[in-house]
Structure 1
Amino acid sequence: MTKYTKNQDAISALDANQYHVTQNSGTEPPFRNEFWDHKEDGLYVDIVSGEPLFTSRDKFDSGCGWPSFTRPVNTDHVIAHEDNTHGMRRIEVRSKHGDSHLGHVFPDGPKEAGGLRYCINSASLRFITVDDLEIEGYGDYRHLFE
């Protein structure tokens, strides 16, 4: 089993927006981020720790301008916390091992898929194509795409 940790080298390699989002609980602009309209099959992992977070199979177009998913690939890798900042009551989601701010989860997702919408910042993610799963060390997740 792979051990995922907060990787200081990965943090040093983040651009200003990725750092702001993942390390300072920031938010990137809607509709102007890398994965909001991304349709390729693959795995989304934490940009800091590499822990697997979401698959393209659970991604849907919510119209919000950020990548939206119905569920995490592994619930052990996503931690939820109450977030009462900005005058709102929300549930923040963070990666367990990288402690990266990912975004928020809302109860307005597709009913047939459990009703949740994980609204995630692209800046917190790295995308691994299905063809690169083995090369990148994520071969154990190939079965999710078969």
Structure 2
Amino acid sequence: MKEQPSELRLDNQLCFSLYAASRQVTRLYQPLLKARGLTYPQYIVLMILWQQDGLLVGEIGKRAQLNSNTLTPLLKRLAQQALVTRERSERDERQCHIYLTEKGKALEADCSCIPQQMLAQTKMPLADLQQLKALLDGFLTSQLDAD
């Protein structure tokens, strides 16, 4: 069997490590979110709105890094669950603001334990996770700056 060049080995690829880690983190979140009737992308959108309610759909998409084809049905499902409402902008009817309902606001308290539960599930020291996050944030910033 031919020896594969080391630069082409899967276990040497940054992209695969990031992909596998992302899938594992999402897998760890799944039961915590399912118990609350949420998917991971819905949770991301709710966290954005808990931080700043009433954002335009486009701003939510930008912060969540979701395109409109993904975001629109996601927001519809959140509205069907009575977690958000959609209101047309008074300045520009083409734009839509998303607001948390009382139920959506109340869900924040229920979800406040999730970060601590996730930390416990990773079985890694907090300092290592903080360093990993800082490195990933730096990587993302450098890539966004390049675009």
TM interval, shorter chain, is 0.3 to 0.5
Greater RCO, 1 or 2 (C-alpha within 8 Å, sep 6+)? 1
Q: Give the TM-score of the pair, scaled to structure 2.
A: 0.32
Greater share of strand: 1
Higher-helix-fraction structure: 2
Larger-Rg structure:
2
Q: TM-score, normalised by structure 1?
A: 0.32
